[in-house]
Amino acid sequence: MNSDPSRDTSGGEWWRDAVVYNIYPRSWRDTNGDGHGDLSGVVERLDHLAWLGVDAIWLNPIMPSPNRDWGYDIADYTAVHPDLGTLADLDLLVEAAGQRRIRLVLDLVPSHTSDEHPWFRAARSDRGSPFREYYVWRTPGTDGAPPNNWLGYFGQPAWTLDERTGEYYLHTFLPQQPKLNWWSSRVAEEFERILRFWFDRGISGMRIDALQTLVHDRTLRPNPAAGDRDTPLERRLGQRFLRSGAQPETHGFIRGWRRIADSYTPPRLLFGETWVPSVDDLAPYYGDGSDELGLAWNLPFLGCDFTARSLRAVVERTVAALPPSAWPAWAMSTHDGEGRAATRWCHGDPAAARCALLLLLTLRGTPILYYGDEIGMTDAVDTPGSGRRDTAETAAPRDRSRTPMQWAPGPGAGFTSSPRPWLPVPGADAPTVVEQRAAPGSVLSFCRDLITIRRRHHELVSGAMRFVPAPEGVLAWERGDGDFLAVVNLGPAPAVVTRDTADGEVLIGTDRHRDHQTLTDQVSLAPYEGLLIRLTRRPAADSDRSRESGRAS
């Protein structure tokens, strides 16, 4: 077993300083020509991530699975899917990443298993099986009806009748994903063992899937109707998932996991997928800021409009709602239904994509890049006969944001030599790493240079942050003690931000021709243009002019 490479880097809550890079392993790099990405492909492309400036990699599920939900239906929690490699390959990845000072975070799915997991196979073999308590079973009503009105996240009833044993079992997602019963102490003990297995192997943290579904209401009370403040999915299905999840006992389990994570040196990260409608619902998953999650998924930020008003409101509400010692996480793209920011926010416009990256990488908190964000990779177009793999009934096909990484022009896009990749590769006009590395004005060059600047200036990582006044459509915020100013024009018209207390130098602009410009009292911005400015305070005698609307000070 390999030693933990993260022990050679700085201790403490390392994720506060990190840029995290999310990889969907099947779509990253295929090294054996079978059309599926693999762990050897992650090793092969580590130098790209080191060059980019990434501090940690988060891999979507790598554990054995029949792939009814593409890895989120786990059949073995302490092994690697054969399509992706072996435990030895994972050990090699941990070691190779550690040599580049890059940590590795895995996806863990504690809410449910695959129906092919040995636990469930044993549970459904006999009502007297000791594994029966690992899952949630109920006898049918007098009319054969399910126990209550609960729906799953894919819109189907949350109960399936097991003909073999004559009882319903609960599932929050597909019927092939039976829900684990966290009211059983044996389930909790299993996952403590699973966490230690991976942490002992050198894994630096876990992203915990569907955390809000972990614990269900023990008495199976019905879910209420959805209201205006609930998630879009809940409103679409007409039901708020109040009793089928989101129970207060969840926090006790998180605190137990945190004690395990903190027993390692350096501490292991717990990053929760907290799929909740508001940051007020998100904040409790941090506990007191140090005893539950280290990072939590911010769905309200991911789902907001790409406008100055919407983004500022979500960021300010997040900062206000979280405990003082908690640390926010920011992501703009995802492997799930929300898809890629370059499509959802930027509509394929590289200038807008650079603005989105400037926002993501200069907010106070941990930025999470999804593979391809650094080149402005867009969602694929879902067309008939395109080889769709995602069979779940979701509002938007998830395949569109899981297509192969675009490494180079040509057949296979540098992803695979197979004529049949697991998902279609992009067309000839898609952006690629090879082309953008050679272009100083590209999205990739901008992303890499911005990460480099972020790393050089601790104020951009751990410094204070506050929004400052700006014209309509413009977002402006200071980092540190007024040391840096970031401005982004997300409106359709040119804008001017006026200042009377500081001059500055442009450290980086989304239009690279503006790099190193000296600015005085006015910052002019074209539509979808952003600047990161290092400020120099003027003497008080030079700051005697009063400004009208649009004044930022």
Q: Annotated active-site positions, please?
A: 209, 273
**Which among 117, 121, 138, 139 has a CA at the least distance from the CA of 129?**
121
Q: What CA–CA distance (Å, rounded) separates 403 from 493?
A: 34
Degrees, nearest 5: CA angle 199-462-103 = 25
Residue type, 318: T
- In order, the DSSP letters of 460-509 are GTTS-EEE----TTEEEEEETTTTEEEEEE-SSS-EEEE-SSEEEEEEEE
End-to-end CA distance of the chain: 55
Name the CA radius of gyration of the chain, rounded. 24
520 vs 523: CA distance, rounded Å: 8
CA 42 – CA 412 distance, rounded (Å): 17
Question: Coil, strand, or helix at residue 157?
Answer: strand
Which H helix or E strand runs over 46? helix 46-52
How far apart are alpha carbons 133 and 152 in whole angstroms?
21
- The rounded distance, in Å, linking the Cα atoms of 132 and 117 is 13
Say if residue 23 is exposed, middle or buried (CB neighbours under 10 Å; 0-12, 13-18, 19+).
buried
Taking CA atoms, 18 is separated from 15, 36, 61, 364, 431, in Å, by 5, 28, 21, 11, 26
Separation CA 499–CA 503 (nearest Å): 8
Q: Which helix (H) or strand (E) holds 52?
A: helix 46-52
Q: Is the dihedral of CA 11, 12, 17, 19 positive or negative?
A: positive
**198 in Cβ contact with 106 (< 8 Å):** yes
Phi, psi for residue 210 in degrees, rounded to 5 = 50, 45
Q: Distance between CA 9 and CA 223 in Å, rounded?
A: 47
Relative orientation angle of helices 443-456 and 350-362, to the nearest 10 degrees: 20
Q: Which of 507, 500, 459 lies closest to 483, judged by CA?
A: 459
27 - beta bridge partners? none
Beta bridge partners of 450: none
